[in-house]
Amino acid sequence: MTALYAALAVVVVAILGIAAYYLVETLKQIRRTARAAEEFFLSARPRVEETSQNLNGLLRRADGMMSSVEEGIAVFTPPRDGALGTVMKALSTASTVVAGATQFARLFFNDRQASQTGTQPRAEEETGHGQQPR
């Protein structure tokens, strides 16, 4: 009976040793994968920041253009019936949607930029007030 317990103990120790070996190998692979991911993110960060800044500038220009279109629509109010009235309604709706989307994107990118640099965006940038006419 003692020999049976000894054999069982050897089998349990062998199984635990094999499990420990594969656990160590798995942890090594996880570490290598994490290092590779970190290197990728560090190398991609400048390109992502440049792209987000370019997109932010593009959205600012689009917001300025849409503001001027909205001002033009407010000055020119054709009759609301007929084909021209339908086109003007569609333009008004589209400009409102685009203006809302650009405002959302501006706030998103300002918050994102602030979290990356550790600074808060200025209040006038968030609200759009205090901007110079274009």
Q: Which residue has the tokens 């274009």?
A: 134
Per domain, the residue ranges of the chain are 2-127
Average pLDDT for 22-49? 92
Percent of the chain at pLDDT > 70 equals: 64
Contact of 74 with 99, CB cutoff 8 Å: no
pLDDT at residue 1 greater than cutoff 80: no
What span, in angstroms and rounded, lies between the C-alpha atoms of 88 and 76? Answer: 10
